[in-house]
Amino acid sequence: MRNVIKSIFNTGILTNPDICPELPVEADGLPAISAIPCLGESCGKCATVCPMKAITVKENEITLDRGRCLGCHSCTGCCTTGTIIHDRSTRTAVLKREDLILSNMPKEKNSQQAASHPFLQSLHIREVSTGCNACDLEVLATTNAIFDIARFGIHITASPRFADALLVTGPVGMAMHDPLQRCYDAMAEPRLVIAVGTSAICGGLHSGGYAEANGVDTILPVAAYIPGEPPHPWSIIHGALLAMGRI
């Protein structure tokens, strides 16, 4: 603790000038699929070890659903060919759910252009937590002096009546369906919903259970998906900028 305090006094707390930089080499990031050929069904270890069943292998094709990925990297640890690799990019957010599904087979690229951009200059966010404290802490980190989300014109507001976007974390269980809907209904048009974290995207480990915790897009239309459990603060900022039409 004394070393941390001494470092702050000596160097100060500096806002990171690089926008959405890559993670340092000691970080794992999210898994990604490289161009290296996969052994396919003759191996299939990655699909077996994935606790979320986010990986499927069919013949020589492998698909990875980042919307279900917890970032445990069991898959990268057992991949003998190097087909599944560490992706240290923090620009991981997408506008469409299907764009979170990666494959080693070529596919047609979808445009990431939003239909309209009413929030190009500023965005007021109301965060709704449905049960993921880890994601909540990363959202909080975006407001500190290092990331400083406010410099992009993005601010957290306490009331949905003053919000342009709902930032939803957690698996959105049955008990949160009605409160989340009422929060959304209290917002003025135009309005956005941003899903933060694997739990908010698909329900995470809770998906398919009795609590009907299957993510936010089963309840509300989602404008941007930010994968990771939890996502890095830069990834959250990237998702907000993407939803605004700034990227």
Q: How far apart are CA 21 and CA 90, in angstroms?
A: 6
Is residue 112 pLDDT above 60, yes or no?
no
127 forms beta bridges with 167
Look up residue 152 and give its DSSP letter. G
Tokens of 165: 């976007």
Query: What integer pLDDT is reported at residue 171 of this predicted model?
Result: 96
Within the chain, all domains assigned CATH 3.40.50.12280 are found at: 123-244
> What is the distance of C-alpha 85 from the center of its chain?
18
CA-nearest of 168, 179, 189, 204 to 72 is: 204
Calculate the average pLDDT of the chain: 91
Contact assessment for residue 57 and residue 47, using Cβ atoms and an 8 Å cutoff: yes
Q: What CATH number does domain 30-89 carry, 3.40.50.2300, 3.30.9.10, 1.10.357.10, 3.30.70.20? A: 3.30.70.20
Contact assessment for residue 85 and residue 76, using Cβ atoms and an 8 Å cutoff: yes
- In this predicted model, what pLDDT tens digit does every residue of 136-189 receive, in sequence order? 999 999 999 999 999 999 999 999 999 999 999 999 999 999 999 999 999 999
Within the chain, all domains assigned CATH 3.30.70.20 are found at: 30-89
Q: How far apart are CA 11 and CA 99, in angstroms?
A: 40
Architecture of domain 123-244: 3-Layer(aba) Sandwich (3.40)
Mean pLDDT of 113-128: 84
SS3 state of residue 17:
coil
Is residue 58 pLDDT above 60, yes or no?
yes
- In this predicted model, what pLDDT tens digit does every residue of 7-42 receive, in sequence order? 667 766 688 889 999 999 899 999 999 988 888 888
Residue whose token pair is 């830069």: 234
Mean pLDDT of 86-110: 89
Query: What integer pLDDT is reported at residue 3 of this predicted model?
Result: 75
Query: What integer pLDDT is reported at residue 109 of this predicted model?
Result: 62
